Amino acid sequence: MDLLAEIHRRRTFAIIAHPDAGKTTLNEKMLLFGGAIKTAGAVKSHKIDTSTKSDWMEIEKQRGISVATSVMGFEYKGKKINLLDTPGHQDFAEDTYRTLTAVDSVILVIDCVKGVEIQTEKLMEVCRMRNTPVICFINKLDREGRDPYDLLDEIEEKLNIEVRPLSWPISMGKSFKGVYNLYNKSLNLFTPSQRKVNAERVSIENLEDEKLGELVGINNANQLREDVELIEGVYPEFDPTNYLQGQVAPVFFGSAVNNFGIQELLDTFIDIAPLPKSREAEEREVKPDEDKFSGFVFKIHANMDPNHRNRIAFLRICSGKFERNKPYNHVRGTKPLRFSNITSFMAQDKESVDEAFPGDIVGLYDTGNLRIGDTLTDGENIHFKGIPSFSPEIFKEVINKDTMKSKQLEKGLKQLMEEGVAQLFTFDIGSRKVIGTVGQLQFEVIQFRLKNEYNATVEFAPMNLYKACWISSKDKKQLDEFVRSKNRHIARDNKGNLVFMAESKAWLQMVQDNYPEIEFHFTSEF
Ligand SMILES: Nc1nc2c(ncn2[C@@H]2O[C@H](COP(=O)(O)OP(=O)(O)OP(=O)(O)O)[C@@H](O)[C@H]2O)c(=O)[nH]1
Ligand SMILES: [Mg+2]
């Protein structure tokens, strides 16, 4: 009973979008409305010196972009909300994709000037595959953006989902007057403010009311009446079941930086967003209300707190109750694990808790036992599905610029690779170290973090490599023979697995043809 009540209280979701759409800003404003923080440090327009609560890493502050997912919990109207802010940049997409495995729904942010952008399309594809419920928030209405009807059409077309507006903007840009809430039929007037939470709210039962004209001007009032009539005529009544099945996305309009449209979004979200859902494991489906605990690690972050230098594993609880100091089955490992400290991320503060419930995301201090994708359970051996792994695209050799700090470099590289920041390959001959990433920016993050967190100075030298292929064979002799004859191109990943470093596509093809006994894999999970 206890467990059921806790499950019913929880809502776990991610904010996703193309870079710069305003995710971190929205995240922060939700915390502000949720009462979790007192004042908002507005994200500066030139993206320098940002001090939003969720972008805590130094590099994020300097550049104003999110490079990793952050987790934040807060209480709102009796609900426990777990909110994950994801990075938009494609170079960090791996982190975002993993985060999508740990949430039950998403809020998708769209910039009203730019419309649906490429990264948004990619993220939505992943959501559509799993029928994740989606709410759209069309942001930056304080700017001269595109026509709202056009935006809605574009969402339907490019994102392959039906939409249903639940709020509607009254003009935009300089003449932006506010949003009419179609869900509860009230009017929210706009006063640009980055710090003020209480927007003026007027209840308008009947749009024919003359008060409307007095408030927003006769022309705007007439336009709104026309728009609302059109919307109610064109779009079917909003049905939360269709939203929960991932068929219809309710749409809200607003301006995150100006605290505008957030309240509608948050209040409706609380009303309609899904409870913690069942999760697919290879063995069976796991329901949240099972008595026995289960959960999986979707993210690891070293040195989150510069004062403590701890490594934290982020665990999504899928079923049952997770308790402090209780031994749990570490499905991939050999011995049970117990955790004397369970961290819950409430706004900026971390606090220790004794127990956590399905939907929750907690941090576990880890000394190197846990890996991304690991499952913890109350006994059963299950493996949760869907944690993606990527094939590196860009390769660079690590050049140590301070040989006195080789130990620190070793340690830093090891820990960052365990976080899944990138992949490290060490050549058998000459022990040259090569890092493979999916994007250029990851090198900057690695360089910065090695310096900041491990005091190791590195540079990266470009390498002409086409692909890293994990190799295996049923025939051990053939494999040994292959490794011997290609020894200049053989490396190990950080778990010691054999990798063949192919310089070009044509050459790889030739080698594959010449060695039919050898299997070539393009991700480490095979
Ligand atoms: N004009 C206007 N600017 C906004 C609004 N909301 C956010 N911004 C600005 O848009 C920029 C990007 O905001 P962020 O919240 O950092 O964007 P993000 O989506 O988290 O970006 P990444 O994490 O790097 O993908 C910042 O300069 C914000 O101040 C808005 O409603 N109106
Ligand atoms: Mg961000």
Among candidates 337, 354, 358, which has minimal Cα distance to 80? 358
Using the atom order of ligand 1, give the atom closest to the CA of residue 26. Answer: 15
Please choose from 18, 25, 113 the residue to mutate so as to test ligand 1's pocket, defined by most ligand atoms within 8 A of CB.
Answer: 25
Using the atom order of ligand 1, give the atom closest to the CA of residue 21. Answer: 19
At residue 93, the 3 state secondary structure works out as helix
Note the pLDDT tens digit of each residue in 145-159.
999 999 999 999 999
**What pLDDT score was predicted for residue 349?**
65
Residue 49: band (very low, low, confident or very high) from pLDDT cuts 50, 70, 90: very low
Rounded Cα distance between 422 and 460, Å, is 14
Kindly tell me if the per-residue pLDDT of 473 is higher than 50. Answer: yes
CB of 47 closer than 6 angstroms to any ligand 1 atom: yes
Kindly tell me if the per-residue pLDDT of 498 is higher than 70. Answer: yes
Kindly tell me if the per-residue pLDDT of 452 is higher than 50. Answer: yes
Rounded Cα distance between 360 and 337, Å, is 19
CB of 53 closer than 6 angstroms to any ligand 1 atom: no
Half-sphere exposure of 448 (CA within 13 A, CB side): 14
How many angstroms does the Cα of residue 88 sit away from the middle of ligand 2?
Answer: 7
Residue 56: band (very low, low, confident or very high) from pLDDT cuts 50, 70, 90: low
CB of 386 closer than 6 angstroms to any ligand 1 atom: no
Residue 450: band (very low, low, confident or very high) from pLDDT cuts 50, 70, 90: very high
Task: Say if residues 300 and 418 touch (Cβ distance below 8 Å).
Answer: yes
What's the mean pLDDT in 19-44? 77
CB of 258 closer than 6 angstroms to any ligand 1 atom: yes
- Centre a 10 Å sphere on the Cβ of residue 135 and count the other Cβ atoms it contains: 22
Using the atom order of ligand 1, give the atom closest to the CA of residue 88. Answer: 25
What does the angle CA 73 – CA 77 – CA 79 come to, to the nearest 5 degrees? 45
What average pLDDT does the structure give for the chain?
88
Using the atom order of ligand 1, give the atom closest to the CA of residue 86. Answer: 23
How many angstroms does the Cα of residue 106 sit away from the middle of ligand 2?
Answer: 15
**What pLDDT score was predicted for residue 331?**
93
**What pLDDT score was predicted for residue 45?**
34
Residue 526: band (very low, low, confident or very high) from pLDDT cuts 50, 70, 90: low
Kindly tell me if the per-residue pLDDT of 296 is higher than 60. Answer: yes
Note the pLDDT tens digit of each residue in 186-233.
887 766 555 555 556 677 778 888 888 888 889 999 999 999 999 999
**What pLDDT score was predicted for residue 50?**
38
Kindly tell me if the per-residue pLDDT of 435 is higher than 80. Answer: yes
Percent of the chain clearing pLDDT 90 (strictly above): 61
Please choose from 15, 18, 20, 56 the residue to mutate so as to test ligand 1's pocket, defined by most ligand atoms within 8 A of CB.
Answer: 20
Least confident range from 160-174, 269-283, 297-311, 427-441: namely 297-311
**What pLDDT score was predicted for residue 48?**
32
**What pLDDT score was predicted for residue 168?**
93
Kindly tell me if the per-residue pLDDT of 54 is higher than 60. Answer: no
CB of 19 closer than 6 angstroms to any ligand 1 atom: yes
**What pLDDT score was predicted for residue 516?**
93
Note the pLDDT tens digit of each residue in 351-389.
889 999 999 999 999 888 898 889 999 999 999 987 777
Among candidates 210, 12, 247, 219, which has minimal Cα distance to 107? 12
How many angstroms does the Cα of residue 328 sit away from the middle of ligand 1?
Answer: 41
Kindly tell me if the per-residue pLDDT of 185 is higher than 60. Answer: yes
Give the range with max mean pLDDT: 34-43, 84-93, 296-305, 477-486.
Answer: 477-486
Residue nearest to atom 24 of ligand 1 (CA): 65
Least confident range from 305-314, 339-348, 419-428: namely 305-314
Pairing label, strands 361-365, 311-319: antiparallel
74: amino acid identity, one letter: F
Structural tokens at position 407: 């130990």
Q: Which ligand is nearest to the CA of 55?
A: 2
102: amino acid identity, one letter: A
